[in-house]
A and B are shown apart, each in its own frame.
Chain A
Amino acid sequence: MKTIITITGLALIAAFSSCRKTIDIQVADSDKKYVIEGNITDQNTPATVSITRSISLNATNEFPQVTGAEVNIKDLTSGTEYHLTENEAGIYQSAAIKGVPGHQYQLLVTVGGQQFLALSVMPAPVALDSAYISKTFMGTEVKGVFQDPASTRNYYHPVLYRNGKREKGVAVGSDEAFDGHLVTQTLFTVEDTLIKSGDHITATLESVDPSIYQYYYGLMNASQNSSAPANPKSNISGGALGYFSAHTVSSKELFVP
């Protein structure tokens, strides 16, 4: 929303004048923080936790994997515990789990003498009825049609895979503007130059818990153009970057016409 306001306003300004150039800015080196991405879904797939470290802004994009961590997930509702093993450097996986909506899951990571703890409740699933592609002047939009459950607050995190690769960009939304309706929503907008005819698209609608919505909302909006950019509020305690999300998944396969 804010983005659209900015686009509209800036379009006019751009029509008159605006110019961009690269400038040299030196920033202090920051602490190398742990970055934890933890996901458990209702899809009968392994729960996966990847652990990396942040690097300084001036460095090249090589993000060190963190090996040798002790990673466990516990279903606090049923009491079942799952141990995650390091299948690849920095990537920890369980056996296939079919997560249960309504259950609360706990992630515990122990690494380098530090402990990180996170909680996430898997929300009720919302099915993506259909998805289609529509070209507008904003770019190529992937639209999804789904029935939003009435009188509960639902949070959605759309994810797009193009030819098997996760598309860049962050999208997240709540049902505040369409509670209880059968809606057609733009899930993702991709620049026209990045997409071509015949591309295989997987449009995924994740139902996430409020803390994950908060996290991605912060990632989108507390980023550079806000007056006070900051790290999004993580649901992981202990000072790590990243998130732990128990979510449900519904997806549709498409081909770009």
Chain B
Amino acid sequence: MKNYIALFLFLLAAALSESVHAQSNFTLSGTIRDQSTGQTLIGAVLRVEQLPATGAVTDAGGAYSLTLAKGDYTLVLSSIGYKTKSQAINLNANQALDFSLIPAAAALSEAVVHSNSTNAKVASAQMGLEKLTMKEISALPALFGEKDLVKVIQLLPGVKSAGEGNSGFYVRGGAADQNLVLLDNTVVYNPSHLLGFFSTFNTDAIKDVSLYKGGMPAQYGGRLASVLDVKMADGNEERIHGSGGLGLISSRLNVEGPITKDKGSFVVSARRTYADVFAKYYSDEGVQNSKLYFYDLNGKASYKLGNRDRLYVSAYYGKDVMAVKGIFGIDWSNAIGSLRWNHQLKEKVYSNTSLSFSDYHYNVHVSQGDLDAAIRSGIRDWNLAQEFEFYTNPKNTVRVGLSAIHHTIVPGAFVLTDMDNKTFKSHSLENAVYISNSWKPNQKLNIDYGIRVSSLAVLGGKDMYELDAEHNIIDTLRYGSGEVAKTYVNAEPRISASYLLDANSSIKGSYARNSQYMHLTSNSTSGNPTDKWIGSNNIIKPGISDQVAVGYYHTFQNGAIEASAETYYKWMQNQIDYKDGANVLSNDPIEPQLLFGQGRAYGLELLLRKKTGKLTGWVGYTLSRTEQKIDGINNNNWYVARQDKTHDISIVGIYKADSKWTLSATWIYSTGNAVSYPTGKYNLDGQVQFSYSERNGYRMPANHRLDLGVTRQLKQGKNFSSELSFSLYNAYGRENAYIINFKEDPSDKSRTIAEQTSLFRWIPSLTYNFKF
């Protein structure tokens, strides 16, 4: 740890000393936007024709900064999905210059677009990063026609689905709760709807998606496996626009427009399912009596307060309701809000200040005659963050920041309607400071390095426990509500480097340590809304992961096709598992029901991706292994984790036949999950019970599936356009195993059979989308 800091300070000193020599240089700064909507573009590339190795990439706010010696240059601007633009400049003073690019779709009939920015993946130091455009996501077939960015992410190498039709995902052997899911920089604690079949992200409201599978930059922290960074669309600054869709199970509406022209914009999106409307017509009384729906609301506004300041407000609210009339009901919701102030301090210095809020909670109601009981559980965060970006000189970009999160957790307490409501809230403070530098020592080498120091202060107020070796409570510890009961500090070094072998190929390597203080405890197969978030405390130690990765990248045909191979090895400490038969819906302390151990994951990921032309898409393959060693399970030996899938293949294709027809297809194959099957049976209380000998000793059958999609453009006008989109999920009707149950053979009651349940076969759906 001391060595890391020493090395880091040395590199930082080197970065800053270089700036001393840069004297007659001037800085060009500004934003790059979409010409038709005025939305800022993330990751747009600005290159200098005269200096092939010099350039800048726009940040999350669409801002760039580039320092050059005095002189005449030609700037080349590009971004995926936009026409490349060139502009000559004469640089003799610090200058603010904004650009806008024309969307390629509008220019589709003229030429097939080539984008230089596709080379970015080869050149940048960042590895383990996957980006998706909303165009790709919208073009792909979807279950029930619900376009879902998480389901598309599951098609990338290194990312696995938590189950058939499930929006939970596992990255490089990590658990579902080890993904940091961010919506406009704010954590989404339960990014799923309807028992995990859909994600909380309404495609209409989203602008950009990035997934970091490893080598996370230092500004991200708090989860072990990945960062899913989702940015909401900003809204059109030019004029009022609307879009929407009518689908099989849900409908959507999106309205955006300027607040003041060229100064501010807003966007509001809504989505609601109506499966419950049909349920009334279903013959089964159980279905008739049940309520089942979800909705989402997204809103965002931004406003320019002069040339150097911009304010952003983002909000999301999504709710699920599931109930059986008069017996039982459960609802859960995510509420998110953030206020961000983007300020340019000087030509080369940007500041981002944000205050955000995230709340996830669920309520369970149970009617027991005249007595009602409820279980309430949730987590609420307040987060204050400050970040500075210094475009020190062409060779260094330094980022410094801090983040403070106050967590409040209500860990699922039973409450009687006529009882004094005892609360069992726990509080903690999760803080982090980080500093990082993107360093380009020469034309071939790019190095991003940084360090994040995170800490958790567990605050008193809730009882804590001391356990013996058998996990029985032997002592109860009480602390005052302002008192710090326990503190953890972790230094997390991050480094990622690339070396260009030639103009089209590079090798990269990275190392990152991550720590995680908030954990989701779950003992069900699929994600359940009643899974609980718990914070680290004296017994539950923070999870720590160390990941090393190396990779090779190559582009062909002027960047149209990119190929990559990455391998990784990850060590995980302080992993949590439940004891057998643990009861989560209880007020009793959860600590005695938990088991702890370690994990390791390693694998190889291959990706061949075509980004431009009539046919786009990718072929991905992952070979991997994920193992756990938990005290008290399988005699403390290493065993394969449930999310371990040896082989995982995905093929994704989008074919734009002409201006009217777009065809798409995805095919997946993966090894089945590891499962525990019974190995024996016995008679207890006059009935047959199964006995188990080993955790995850068996495999489910392999999964494979083909989905097809067709989109037909109906009208394409300046004021109104519409399209019809058809999806066929599981086109060849493969019966993929969802659950395997062992039960009495109906034809011979003295024998046992295995019965497989599969869910979705040949699910067609039709969606009508419109824009005005």
Which of A81-89, A91-99, A219-227 participates in binding chain B? A219-227
A116 within 8 A of B: no
Chain A residues contacting B680 (CB-CB under 8 Å) are 29-33, 54-57
B385 within 8 A of A: no
Nearest CB of B to A141, in Å: 10
Number of interface residues of B (CB under 8 A): 92
Q: How far is the CA of A16 from the CA of B278 in the complex (A)?
A: 11
A-B contact pairs, 8 of them (CB 8 A): A2-B528, A11-B287, A17-B763, A61-B683, A174-B586, A176-B586, A224-B741, A232-B581
Nearest CB of B to A165, in Å: 8
Mask for A144-184, Cβ within 8 A of B = 1, else 0? 00000000000000010000011011100010111101011
CB pair A23–B755 under 8 Å, yes or no, is: yes
Nearest CB of A to B279, in Å: 7
CB pair A63–B683 under 8 Å, yes or no, is: yes
CB pair A19–B371 under 8 Å, yes or no, is: no
CB pair B758–A35 under 8 Å, yes or no, is: no
User: Total A-B residue pairs with C-beta atoms closer than 8 Å?
Assistant: 241
B154 within 8 A of A: no
Q: How far is the CA of A230 from the CA of B278 in the complex (A)?
A: 39
The contact of A177 among B366, B681, B696, by CB within 8 Å, is B366
A242 within 8 A of B: yes
Nearest CB of B to A67, in Å: 16
CB pair A4–B583 under 8 Å, yes or no, is: no
CB pair B366–A23 under 8 Å, yes or no, is: no
B residues with a Cβ closer than 8 A to A are 194-195, 275, 278-279, 282, 284-287, 289-290, 292, 322-324, 327-328, 330, 364, 366, 368-371, 373, 414, 416, 419, 522-525, 528-530, 577-581, 583, 585-587, 642, 676-693, 695-698, 701, 735, 737-742, 748-763
A185 within 8 A of B: yes
The verdict on A230 contacting B681 (CB below 8 Å), with A11-B287, A225-B525 known, is no
CB pair B287–A228 under 8 Å, yes or no, is: no
CB pair B583–A224 under 8 Å, yes or no, is: no
A residues with a Cβ closer than 8 A to B are 1-2, 4-5, 7-9, 11-13, 15-25, 27-33, 35, 37, 52-63, 136-138, 159, 165-166, 168-170, 174, 176-179, 181, 183-185, 214, 217-219, 221-233, 241-242
The verdict on A23 contacting B754 (CB below 8 Å), with A16-B763, A56-B679, A224-B690 known, is yes
Q: Which residue of B lies closest to A25 (CB)?
A: B754
Q: How far is the CA of A10 from the CA of B722 in the complex (A)?
A: 35
Chain A residues contacting B681 (CB-CB under 8 Å) are 54-57, 59, 61
Nearest CB of B to A92, in Å: 16
Q: How far is the CA of A138 from the CA of B23 in the complex (A)?
A: 80
The contact of A57 among B642, B679, B697, by CB within 8 Å, is B679
CB pair A231–B692 under 8 Å, yes or no, is: yes
CB pair B686–A8 under 8 Å, yes or no, is: no
CB pair B585–A1 under 8 Å, yes or no, is: yes
- Which 8 A-B residue pairs are closest in the complex by CB-CB distance? A218-B581, A184-B369, A30-B679, A177-B373, A30-B680, A54-B682, A230-B580, A137-B285
CB pair B525–A227 under 8 Å, yes or no, is: yes
Nearest CB of A to B322, in Å: 5
Besides the known contacts A7-B286, A27-B677, A35-B682, 4 further A-B residue pairs in the complex with CB atoms under 8 A apart: A17-B762, A19-B761, A29-B680, A229-B690
CB pair B760–A230 under 8 Å, yes or no, is: no
Q: How far is the CA of A32 from the CA of B681 in the complex (A)?
A: 9
The contact of A8 among B322, B579, B682, by CB within 8 Å, is B322
Chain A residues contacting B528 (CB-CB under 8 Å) are 2, 5
The verdict on A12 contacting B279 (CB below 8 Å), with A17-B761, A229-B692, A242-B684 known, is yes
Nearest CB of A to B416, in Å: 7
The verdict on A21 contacting B755 (CB below 8 Å), with A1-B364, A231-B691, A232-B581 known, is yes
